[in-house]
Structure 1
């Protein structure tokens, strides 16, 4: 027990003892001495109490910091134990959830907004050691499921940040005008006209909901066993991740999709430069210079660059006259290795920069995956139909942190 707590309890006891004797009209000599002793002890304890608080301040700070982070650590530990197979069986057979899976589902449901069984996005991440499974007891051996092929995330490589939102809208106020500097033209002149501090807002709203659908046959449920849980997690994670990556770059802003970087260039204030020439380091260098002139970066290495595979092939094939150095070599020497992805449209390149800790774009994910079972569509075959609903939105807070090059054609 902390010393300050002990002193506080003793002070309470002294006040109770004093209350019992001060109410007497004619206290005895013994009671008078008792009041004097208690009063002296009370004053001494006040000094001790203040000293104890000072001495314990650092201990209290450390305890507070531990309390602030303990809940996040505990939740992360629970998510690592989340069993997606329990969710599939619960939707198929109605079996009750238990353990960490039940605890996480109940906590997510307490926040509302789920019709089915909620699944945290973190639970869909691939876990170490799950790609190898023991053979089943069967006349033939069943090896691990071979997953489908999906592209790696290009949004993350461009510095776009993913944030989780519980509910409501999230706004990013962005300063557009502010202080100005001026010199006195005469001794008594004003230093310059006052300029208002102005901001605009970029918002993330829960207006865009998509779903990943999957039909699991009765044979798969009975045949794959524990390996099915790992395969479902990987497949849902891959298909959801691939689509979120696509809409971040190419989302049309219509038909329920968020507005992505390229279709929303004019809306977000992103500079789009039609190159109309072969891919060269000089074309990208001009955009790096534009970044520097806008005070967005101070070094070419601060730029994140991504383009389609055809541009990489053109850069690697274009040799500087009289040398064995290619345009690709010149580019990578300055900005590092760019990201190559077929998510980027043909003949297009995207350049981004993180400025003052602000990401070039924000992908907001609302809660987790709402996993819902359809008990009717495939009821005759005993198959399980799952729909994983995801609500997400994307925005670009400052357009000057992103630049787009179009028409980067083959030589």
Structure 2
């Protein structure tokens, strides 16, 4: 019995005795002494009880870790208690399983689907003292799945805002003309004439659907068990994220793709400058100055930049004459670390959030529509999963983005 349980029981007994003694109107000396002793013991037990809980909590954690990492030997011991009789009666009479048999069946069903009652092969091969010709068997243990490598979202680092849309289209009216300020030329003269307040609508429409397709073999279903579900979730989420990131920048607006900010620079009104030379801090600084002159940014640190790894290497390889400072060092000191993406390659994208408005928007309609197809690969026992996502990209104000192209060494 746990020490904490023993102390709890003793505390209950002390409270009961104290209740009896305190109910007496004129207790004698022996009863008063007994109440003092019981009160002291009760306070002492409270300290012991807290210490016991702390110690037992550590033991529970260790025991929990052991249960989570059940070894093959423990599984063998569990299967050794599997009763095939119960499986037969469950199929024949519908009798409920119990004991180790029920636990083994539950473990197997959690790991994979079965139409009947699963029977582990170890339960059919009960052997004692048998070895193979080459020595003691050494079964293989399958560890958790190692995920594929995917880049982190560069669009998110550059300030692109993701919006979840229930249904229909979404639009933003963006002011393009409005109030005009001016001085009166003469006393009693009129100030600058009024200007009409005009807007242009930027919209997101559910016209583009991205699909992620996955084929799961019977080996994968049986090899990894319950860990396969989480691995599939991560893999689908990662591959969808990569494609959405590509669409934000290099989407062509054709063949089902949204129009990205690089390919759609002219459509969105984004200034694009062809450098066609090795990247320099001077070229990047000119675009940062243009942001500040256009009231889109108030400081260089308000501007974020992303480009490909090759551009990063070129900037880091150019040293200021007579110093150990590189062009990359100068840029990072003024703007912070850049976001790197293979999608951008030799193109640099500069963004800024003006007035709390993101430079671009990625709209996603609803959730991922996961479609299960158990029939196409039925002959091999496989399964196909398809995840569909409807998404679109738009830019609110083109003045919040700048693009530099052709940043490559000659």
TM-score (norm 2): 0.66
The equivalences for 1:246-395 within 5 A come to: 246-344=246-344, 346-395=345-394
8 Å Cα contact 1:169-1:204 kept in structure 2 = yes
User: In structure 2, how many angstroms separate the alpha carbons of the residues matched to 1:355 and 1:386?
Assistant: 41
Mapped partners of 1:223, 1:406: distance in 2: 48
How far apart, in 2, do the equivalents of 1:321 and 1:274 lie? Answer: 26
| Structure 2 CA distance for partners of 1:93 and 1:360, relative to 1, 3 Å | farther
Q: CA deviation at 1:375?
A: 3.2
1:5-404 equivalences in 2 (<5 Å): 139-344=139-344, 346-404=345-403
Q: Per the alignment, in what secondary structure is the counterpart of residue 139 of structure 2?
A: coil
C-alpha contact 2:249 2:260 (8 A) present in aligned 1:
yes
Distance in 2 (CA, whole Å) between partners of 1:220 and 1:376 is 17
Give the whole-Å Cα distance in 2 for the aligned partners of 1:161 and 1:218: 40
Partner of 1:409: 408
Contact 1:154 1:343 in 2 (8 A): no
Q: SS where residue 315 of structure 1 aligns?
A: helix
Alpha-carbon deviation of 1:93? Answer: 8.0
Separation in 2 of the partners of 1:375 and 1:234? 21
Deviation at 1:189, TM superposition (A): 2.0
Partners of 2:202 and 2:380 in 1: how far apart? 48
In structure 2, distance between residues paired with 1:287 and 1:316: 20
Matches of 1:347 and 1:385 in 2, distance apart? 37
**Structure 2: distance between partners of 1:185 and 1:283:** 41
Q: Is the 8 A contact 1:92 1:384 kept in 2?
A: no
Distance 1:238-1:186 versus aligned 2 partners, 3 A rule: same
- 2:212 touches 2:388 (CA, 8 Å); kept in 1? yes
Q: Given that residues 349 and 402 in structure 2 are in contact (C-alpha distance below 8 angstroms), is that contact kept between their aligned partners in structure 1?
A: yes
Cα 1:226–1:269 shift into 2, 3 Å: same
Residues 189 and 93 of structure 1: is their aligned pair in 2 closer, same or farther, counting only changes over 3 Å?
farther
Q: How big is each residue's C-alpha offset from its partner over 1:12-62, in whole Å with a ceiling of 9 and x where there is no partner?
A: xxxxxxxxxxxxxxxxxxxxxxxxxxxxxxxxxxxxxxxxxxxxxxxxxxx
Q: Using the TM superposition, give the Cα deviation of residue 223 of structure 1 relative to its aligned residue in structure 2, in angstroms.
A: 2.3
User: How far apart are the structure 2 equivalents of 1:221 and 1:280?
Assistant: 52
Deviation at residue 229 of structure 1 after TM alignment: 1.1
Higher RCO (CA 8 Å, separation ≥ 6 residues): 1
Deviations 1:117-175, CA, capped at 9 Å, x for gaps? xxxxxxxxxxxxxxxxxxxxx93201111211111111001100101000010001100
Where does residue 20 of structure 2 map in the other structure?
Answer: none
SS at match of 2:156: coil
Q: Which of structures 1 and 2 has the bigger CA Rg?
A: 2
Q: How many residues align?
A: 278
SS in 1 for 2:365: strand
Match of 1:141, SS? coil
Unaligned residue ranges in structure 1 (runs of 5+): 1-88, 95-137
Residue in structure 2 matched with residue 125 of structure 1 by the alignment? none
SS in 2 for 1:310: helix
Q: Partners in 2 of 1:350 and 1:286 — Cα distance?
A: 13
1:320-356 alpha-carbon deviations (Å, 9 max, x no partner): 1111111111111100111111111x32101000000
Distance 2:186 2:211 in 1: 67
> Cα RMSD (Å) of the superposition?
1.7
Can you list the C-alpha shifts for 1:49-107, whole angstroms capped at 9, x where unaligned?
xxxxxxxxxxxxxxxxxxxxxxxxxxxxxxxxxxxxxxxx9x9889xxxxxxxxxxxxx
Q: Report the secondary structure of 2:247's partner residue.
A: helix
In structure 1, how many angstroms separate the alpha carbons of the residues matched to 2:113 and 2:171? 40
